Each structure stands twice: as C-alpha cells, then as structure tokens.
Amino acid sequence: MQENKDKIILPHSALLKDRQELHLSGVTDVDSFDETGITAYTDIGELSIGGENLHITKLSLESGELLVEGRINSLVYRDEAPKATSFFGKVFR
C-alpha cells in the first residue's frame, strides 16, 4: 500500500478464472452495474467489465476487493482524466 498526500493508493490486480469469475483488488468505487456491464474505479483508472449474467458477489471498498461472477466478455481500462495532448498529437490528429 502506498500513500500519496493523505490518500492511500491500493495496489490493483485482476485475476480472471475461466471467464466465469473475476477477482479484483484495488477497487475504489463502483459506479454502475447490471447483468451486462459493471463500471469500477481504481487508482489507475476506470475499468469497464462487459459480459452476460454478471453478478457482484463481493464488494468491499474498505479493502478494495470486488468479485464478479458470470460470463465475462471484456475488460477495458480508461484513464480517469484525459491525458494532455502534446504539440505533435494536436498537429497529427
């Protein structure tokens, strides 16, 4: 566990078993969830979980643990804040 100016940063890991069971650590919040998708937040960004018949079987924001069961089809990470675009990034859009 790492501290960053009064904020404790939880280490993040993801373990997917047979696309049926997903164990996550380092989860700081869960924004939305239904049977086809879950949006969770970690210190390294937003995580969108897509699938079918998804169920949250364990959620502890205190310890940062999230356990999801169902058919997991996708895991997509997004940065929480958009990165600043460099000069060349703006020119070559």
Q: Would you kindly state where each structural domain of the chain is located, as residue ranges? A: 2-80
Q: In 3-state terms, what secondary structure has residue 11?
A: coil
> What is the structure's pLDDT at 29?
94
pTM attached to this predicted model: 0.77
Q: How far apart are CA 87 and CA 93, in angstroms?
A: 10
Q: How far apart are CA 20 and CA 5, in angstroms?
A: 37
> What is the structure's pLDDT at 76?
96
> What is the structure's pLDDT at 46?
95
Residues of the chain below pLDDT 50: 81-84, 88, 93
Q: Please, are residues 42 and 49 in contact by the beta-carbon 8 Å criterion?
A: no
CATH assignment of 2-80? Answer: 2.60.40.2000
Q: How far apart are CA 80 and CA 83, in angstroms?
A: 9
> What is the structure's pLDDT at 8?
72
> What is the structure's pLDDT at 84?
47
